[in-house]
Amino acid sequence: MHAEAPPRVLIVEDETKVARALADGLGAERFETRVAASGEDGFFLVSNESFDLILLDLMLPQRGGLEILAALRARGLQTPVLILTAKDTVEDRVLGLDVGADDYLVKPFAFPELLARIRALLRRGRLDPASKLRHEDLELDPVSRAVERGSRALELTAKEFEILEYLLRHQGRVVSREMLARDVWKVTARATPLDNVIDVTIARLRRKVDDPFPRKLVHTIRGVGFVLGVEPR
């Protein structure tokens, strides 16, 4: 019986000390790591090797992290990407998530928190294939990550997809911002900036899922949260 191969993590980080610390820490936790010191090197490695997770800095020489991420998602790469950066404004978070990041961690951070987020993303990627989720004419496939409403395919970012999947799994029930912060963003302590990010992402999701159609499915319950499938009174 063969032992399970360790998860492979690509670290795209131009600060040598930070990259070495991440590689050493993850190596001690039985991860296999590769390090790229520039966006160009990171893009080359992702294009030629298989990874279970990518840790991506934003401020990189040659090609910035967001440019790399956008190019990878445009090619259909579904590998989870965790952004590590010192840029912590709401606009930076929204932009990173909208381009296709799966999670966002601001430097400096505690290594145990990074490890917890990595494990959560890896668990999500290794879940058994699930059946399609449906509500009325909306359909989401967790395996192919395809979303359709009626006969129209919807192009969602990674975070929009996760929110819609969460709403579908809780359809008919109110989903609070606290639930989304805990289960989608993996943040235990809510803060106003994160609430703003959630609201902006929900608004973008609603424009794609509801605006082109006469019947609206995603509703805001003022002061409480969001619900899919029940018109608020």
The H or E element spanning position 95 is helix 90-99
| Model confidence pTM above 0.85 | no
Exposed/middle/buried for residue 40 (C-beta within 10 Å: 0-12, 13-18, 19+) = middle
Over the stretch 59-98, which tens digit does the pLDDT of each residue have? Answer: 888 788 888 888 888 776 778 999 998 877 777 777 787 8
CATH code linked to domain 133-228 = 1.10.10.10
The domains of the chain are located at 8-125, 133-228
According to CATH, the topology of domain 8-125 is Rossmann fold (3.40.50)
CA distances from residue 124 to 102, 135, 136, 228 in whole angstroms, order as listed: 11, 22, 26, 22
Give the C-alpha separation, 225 to 198, whole Å. 10
Over the stretch 141-191, which tens digit does the pLDDT of each residue have? Answer: 987 889 999 989 999 998 999 999 989 988 877 888 888 887 788 776 666
Phi and psi at 12, nearest 5°, equal: -105, 100
What local confidence, expressed as pLDDT, does residue 127 receive? 43
- Residue type present at position 3: A
